[in-house]
Chain A
Amino acid sequence: NAGVTQTPKFQVLKTGQSMTLQCAQDMNHNSMYWYRQDPGMGLRLIYYSASEGTTDKGEVPNGYNVSRLNKREFSLRLESAAPSQTSVYFCASSYRGETDTQYFGPGTRLTVL
């Protein structure tokens, strides 16, 4: 039972490049989330998916797109990376999304030069 997995673990991009962060969970959870973590800012929600086939914007969605590919997978895409997107990105999942525990992946550390 792997829980929540994220790839890659580290990535360096140049300004304007694109990339997709992958996330998968094997816990049969309905809800999945993408957060970014910056020093002194805590975790901020980028996008979430309450169930397969639905996605919603969070607090900081600009510059990102998401795809809920199936129940297991939820990807985050940066179409044109900017230095302000340098951050650590965490994917999380939960069974129902309301009061249930969120389980987090190990994170992707992204640097945009």
Chain B
Amino acid sequence: GNSVTQMEGPVTLSEEAFLTINCTYTATGYPSLFWYVQYPGEGLQLLLKATKADDKGSNKGFEATYRKETTSFHLEKGSVQVSDSAVYFCALSDSRNTPLVFGKGTRLSVIA
């Protein structure tokens, strides 16, 4: 079945550091890939997505590229801020119209 594996947290970074959160997936067909973010006390919200191989999703300074050859969708940001402290979830949607499959989440803490 479909699955998503993302790096274990928590990740603690200083402000302005470079961020990478790894995400790899297993899926049949050609899934769409997503990163969701959950700020403290809130529900999840879409951060970015990519629907086909080599697509790059970007938003709020975050980027992720859909790499079919390595089945990966790593999240990156060049310079994190304290306000980026949150839990980040990688997810996929199978092209056969099944619900999202989420990774277990990675908690990011950014300290000033």
Give A residues with C-beta under 8 Å from B. 4, 33, 40-45, 48, 50, 58, 90, 92, 97-99, 101-107
Contact = CB atoms under 8 A, between A and B. Distances in A.
24 contacts: A4-B43, A33-B99, A41-B104, A42-B102, A43-B102, A43-B105, A44-B102, A48-B99, A90-B44, A92-B43, A97-B97, A97-B99, A98-B93, A98-B95, A98-B97, A99-B32, A99-B49, A99-B51, A101-B34, A101-B46, A104-B43, A104-B45, A105-B43, A107-B43
Contacts of B105: 42-43
Given A42-B103, A42-B105, A99 B93 contact: yes
B97 A106 contact: no
Nearest to A106: B43
Contacts of A102: 44, 46, 100
B69 interface: no
